[in-house]
Structure 1
Amino acid sequence: MSTAVLLTRSDADNQRLAERLQAQGIRALSLPLLQIDPQPETGAQRSLMLDLDRYHAVMVVSPIAARLGLERLDALWPQAPVGIEWFAVGAGTAAVLEDYGLPVQIPVDGQDSEALLRLPAWQRLLAQPDLRVLIWRGVGGRDHLASTVRAAGGQVDLLELYQRNMPATLAQDLAAAAEQGAGAIVILSGQALQHWQRAAGTTWEQQRHWRCWVPGMRVAELARELGCTDVIACQGADDDSVLAAVMAHPLTP
């Protein structure tokens, strides 16, 4: 049995990428490492959305943040307010916003917070004395964005739309995937990396030597700090970037 690549996003995302990998002769298994639990809307969060037209920019950090945020926008606004600059971290997030009809800016030289803040628009925005930015994200996500805007004197509000939790049966499911031949893994966030290590338990000493594809250098550094020895940094977290990295670094039979 050939070594399988373990895909760790949602089942739907994993299935889409698995089909492309399998077309290239690469066996893939699906095991979501993050359980996404939408957050109930609070009065404070509702106020942020009702005041959406007061912000100069909205930064959206993930496709799930885009989908959940747009559900709330759609419930409170007959149409999106004009005059807001929309930013997305990654092409997948941008696609959700664009499908809704929003003009979105994304970086072309990376798919992380640093690349987003290198966009020319941010040099102009950060120079505004009254800059107000709203970030759509999960609980505890991407502090670099907020801290950079605040350091420049801007006001940042956080609309935390979901909580990322560890699935209750992850340890058992990971062990089953290993028995099915998983020997490499795609990890697309620092929290997913932590969940993998926790679920591996006593088998971490073996699994940390699996080939591990990550979206960029930040997660690569975290992986090496945890003891991973075969880390490949992709040029982003989207399917095209992951597929290109897997094909560029094929597994040995």
Structure 2
Amino acid sequence: MDTPQPEGVRALTGARVLICRPEPEATRLSGAFRSAGADTRTLPVMERVPLPETPESRQVILDLDLFQHVIAVSPYAARQLLDRVDTWWPQFPTGVHWYGVGASTAAVLESAGLTCKHPSEGFTSEALLALPSLQALTHEKVLLARGETGRDLIRETLEQRGASVTQLPLYRRQPTAPSPEQLADRLDRFAPDVIIALSGETLNNFIALSENSGHNCLKSLLLVPTDRVAQQAREAGFDRVICASGMADEDIVNRVIGCYPPHQTGPAPTPGSP
């Protein structure tokens, strides 16, 4: 069992943290870890590409006032949605209930002046679907702002509850292709003892990219978003897997602090050594 460590400004001194988030979140989270004393590197193994506006997607935005509920599945989806709405609506339509899957997503919508609902605990589809206002939806219209794929549970469940759900794909997630030199620097020379992978797609691509590494990443402390991804990681051979308690930078850093240092049988390798 991991021994909790006291939180503090330099609680992660000596930790080597590899952050596999897309940019700009990777650099922002890297700064939060450095503030806690960690040495960090970023290795974005996924990137998000905004989808071009089509006549169909434009019409969805123009019909925004016809929806009773609008759900954004991630902070990035929320930002993309706000950009589209700003183009066609001088002010937000009234009578629409806005939702973020988690507090971080809701904060993006609230920064635009919207009142937004989100789960009081958790940041999963299941947590969102437990909200009282999303239980009885007969004849109500729901707009789901999301990536090109994913979050099918939200759509399926809301349709079972009587809603008419329109999906609005706003971006595509796709693997990156780091150079061999970049991989050698981040894995072999840096030798991370903590890895941050905040989606199943991120984890899968990281595993594929690290297969030829000389560093055994399976012994690193791995932080993932949910139990489902944790199970996926254990099946891949990771020894020490923890789930995030929240998706805000502070939540992620504090979760690692609570489980650091990793188990070691000898002195840690010096960063930069072969």
Q: Which structure 1 segments of 5+ residues have no match?
A: none
The residue type paired with residue 214 of structure 1 is V
The residue type paired with residue 111 of structure 2 is D
Q: Tell whether the 8 Å contact from 2:191 to 2:215 is kept in structure 1 after alignment.
A: no
Q: Tell whether the 8 Å contact from 2:18 to 2:40 is kept in structure 1 after alignment.
A: yes
The reply to whether residue 75 of structure 1 matches residue 87 of structure 2 is: yes
What is the rounded CA distance, in whole Å, between the counterparts of 1:16 and 1:8 in structure 2? 12
Moved more, 204-213 or 133-142: 204-213
Residue 201 of structure 1: CA displacement? 2.5
The residue type paired with residue 139 of structure 1 is E
Corresponding residue for residue 238 of structure 1: 248
What is the rounded CA distance, in whole Å, between the counterparts of 1:229 and 1:213 in structure 2? 12
The residue type paired with residue 165 of structure 1 is Q
Matches within 5 A, 1:136-215: 136-169=145-178, 172-178=181-187, 179-203=189-213, 206-215=216-225
Corresponding residue for residue 50 of structure 2: 38
What is the rounded CA distance, in whole Å, between the counterparts of 1:4 and 1:169 in structure 2? 20
Corresponding residue for residue 75 of structure 2: 63
Residue 49 of structure 1: CA displacement? 0.9
What is the rounded CA distance, in whole Å, between the counterparts of 2:59 and 2:41 in structure 1? 42
Tell me the secondary structure at the aligned position of residue 173 of structure 2: strand
Larger % of helix: which? 1
TM-score, normalised relative to structure 1 = 0.91
TM-score, normalised relative to structure 2 = 0.85
Q: Tell whether the 8 Å contact from 2:15 to 2:37 is kept in structure 1 after alignment.
A: no
Corresponding residue for residue 226 of structure 2: 216
What is the rounded CA distance, in whole Å, between the counterparts of 1:113 and 1:222 in structure 2? 18
Moved more, 173-182 or 57-66: 173-182
2:103 aligned residue (69, 77, 91): 91
CA distance 1:171–1:82, shift in 2 (3 Å): farther
Identity percentage over the alignment? 36
CA distance 1:57–1:101, shift in 2 (3 Å): same
Q: Tell whether the 8 Å contact from 1:170 to 1:199 is kept in structure 2 after alignment.
A: no
What is the rounded CA distance, in whole Å, between the counterparts of 2:92 and 2:55 in structure 1? 20
The reply to whether residue 5 of structure 1 matches residue 17 of structure 2 is: yes
Tell me the secondary structure at the aligned position of residue 146 of structure 2: strand
Moved more, 156-165 or 11-20: 11-20
Residue 244 of structure 1: CA displacement? 1.5
Corresponding residue for residue 122 of structure 2: 110
Q: Which structure 2 segments of 5+ residues have no match?
A: 1-12, 263-267, 269-274
Aligned pair count reads 250
The residue type paired with residue 34 of structure 1 is M
What is the rounded CA distance, in whole Å, between the counterparts of 2:179 and 2:133 in structure 1? 42
